[in-house]
Amino acid sequence: MSEKTEILDYLMTIIGEEGCGVACSEAEIFKDAQGWKMMLEGFMAPWPLGKTAAEAKERIREYAEMGFGLS
pLDDT in tens, the chain (71 residues): 799 999 988 988 887 766 665 556 567 889 999 999 988 777 789 999 999 999 999 999 998 887 655 54
Q: Long-range contacts for 60-69 (Cβ within 8 Å, ≥24 apart)?
A: 60/7, 60/10, 60/11, 60/14, 60/15, 61/14, 64/14, 64/15, 64/19, 69/23, 69/40, 69/42, 69/43
pTM for this predicted structure: 0.78
Q: What pLDDT does residue 19 have? A: 61
Q: What pLDDT does residue 68 have? A: 59
